[in-house]
Chain A
Amino acid sequence: MADEKEIIPVKIHQHGDYELAIYWADGHESVYPCDYLRKACRCANCVDEWSGTPRVNPAAIPENIQPVQIESVGRYGIKIDWDDGHNTGIYGFEYLRKICPCQECRDGG
């Protein structure tokens, strides 16, 4: 597993109208566009449980999609209720850190 601090969120908050921001314990900040997060949903409705193939057409997800509310899941992640009615996705902190969209993370892999 990655360094523990990389996957401990210190603060999770709304960032403008269409972004969610997470400050991590190692000092990094991730800012996720909402539609990017919605498309990254790994729940069984969005990704086939057995084959891993996507079951949702990313183009069908509205660009202006927003969360209605966000809640903790145990000690390891968050659950997002989207305004398109989708609410079955759990975003683990380890996964969220892995998909951080900032340039540094995408370059560093």
Chain B
Amino acid sequence: MNVTEELILRTLSTVKDPDLHRDIVSLGFIQNIKIQNSSVSLDLVLTTPACPVRDQMKQECETKLRNLPGVSKVEINMKAEVRGRPGLNQASVLPGVRNTIAVASGKGGVGKSTVAANLALALAKTGAKVGLLDCDVYGPSIPLMFGLTGQKPDVTEDQKILPIPAHGIVVMSIGFLTDDNAPVIWRGPMVHQIIQQFLTRVAWGELDYLILDLPPGTGDTQLTLTQSASLSGAVIVTTPQEVSLIDARKGLQMFQKVNVPVLGIIENMSYFCCPGCGKVAEIFRRGGAKKVSEAFNVPMLGEIPIDPAVVETGDQGVPIVAAKPDSLIARVYQAIAGALAAQVSIANMSGSEKAAAAGPVHIQWQTKKK
């Protein structure tokens, strides 16, 4: 039997993307098929380089093609094209940024900035282009975590601010624009303006993911972001105990109210594994986030253990994913980044199917009064 492109597509249409629940042919993943006698090569183009099931899908395709009569050699090139949030092609804010992900919490002190920083690095390690925007105007911690304290960003000829590169991503923070030790004492309208500037005056360039590290709570910054930037979705960070979960629920409900998909919940400081004896201690009681995720029907992205190395590396300006990429906690972050990227792809897919419809609206009223 002759091996044809049609036969290959028909065979591969039995392979499903386990996250998107659709076959990989109709999703447009299979590209650039080349057949030479009995050898077949093709590109498998996923929606994110961080895809947690990429190896599994590749294997399934290989096996199915190899079992075809007349095929002796199969070469699958793994590629990824991150797809953008719905309405991106008409977006006036952050036009080069395919996905904007807010990392939020209700309560302060749950490790939101640490999680945001390490998630950004973990996404970048898969090959994605990533930016990190520190939206905490009153307490910016990203400059310290990236060893960028005291640095000032360059400004382009057309008066755009260039984000600062660090550990393979680009970073922007209010901390780069103010004195290191001087507090920012601003009322809400100023916060609104600076966030607007971050969205419109920073030359982010082309990014697959822009991670927004939000301040705690449901205040000015959150409002401005949900009104001005079309967010792909939000991630809620919480610690396991009830006092943190109460506020996590509020944060979650805020995003639901303004129609921003909640991509999942992350439980930080979930447990401590003793480096001496290996015994696990659940210091703040583990599993609270899981209960919230079940109650609100949003994905549980992962549980991050307590590790003194996180604080150590963070304070030294190299987040743990960059400092100790082989550590247990870095691998946990890598897994969470994969789960998050999958949720972004799912949200974009269902968003465009629901046709989140009208997309950005700009109506200039056309008539003159009679």
Residues of A that sit less than 8 Å from B by CB:
4-5, 8-14, 17, 25, 64, 66-76, 78, 90, 93
Contacts and interface: CB of A to CB of B under 8 A. Distances in A.
A77 B226 CA distance: 11
20 contacts: A8-B357, A9-B357, A9-B358, A10-B357, A10-B358, A11-B358, A12-B358, A14-B367, A17-B367, A25-B354, A25-B355, A25-B357, A67-B365, A69-B363, A70-B363, A72-B230, A72-B360, A74-B227, A74-B260, A93-B259
Interface string B342-370: 00000000000011111011111111011
A80 to B, nearest CB: 9
A12 B363 contact: yes
Given A8-B356, A75-B356, A90-B227, 16 more contacts: A4-B354, A10-B355, A12-B361, A12-B363, A13-B363, A17-B370, A25-B355, A64-B370, A66-B369, A68-B364, A71-B361, A71-B362, A71-B363, A72-B361, A72-B362, A76-B260
Interface residues of B, dominant DSSP = loop
8 A-B pairs with least C-beta separation: A76-B259, A70-B363, A17-B367, A75-B259, A72-B361, A9-B358, A76-B258, A74-B226
A75 B358 contact: no
Interface residues of A, dominant DSSP = strand
Interface in B253-268: 257-260
Contacts of A14: 363, 365-367
A76 B369 CA distance: 30
Most buried by A among B257, B358, B362: B358
B361 A70 contact: yes
Interface of B: 226-231, 257-260, 354-358, 360-367, 369-370
A69 B355 CA distance: 23
Contacts of B354: 4-5, 8, 25
Contacts of A10: 355, 357-358
A52 B276 CA distance: 61
Contacts of B355: 8, 10, 25
Contacts of B357: 8-11, 25
B22 to A, nearest CB: 20
B258 A74 contact: yes
B234 to A, nearest CB: 11
A69 to B, nearest CB: 5
Contacts of A17: 367, 369-370
B361 A78 contact: yes
B103 to A, nearest CB: 17
Nearest to A1: B256
Contacts of A93: 259
Contacts of B364: 68-69
Contacts of A66: 365, 367, 369
B367 A74 contact: no
Contacts of A13: 363
Nearest to B230: A75
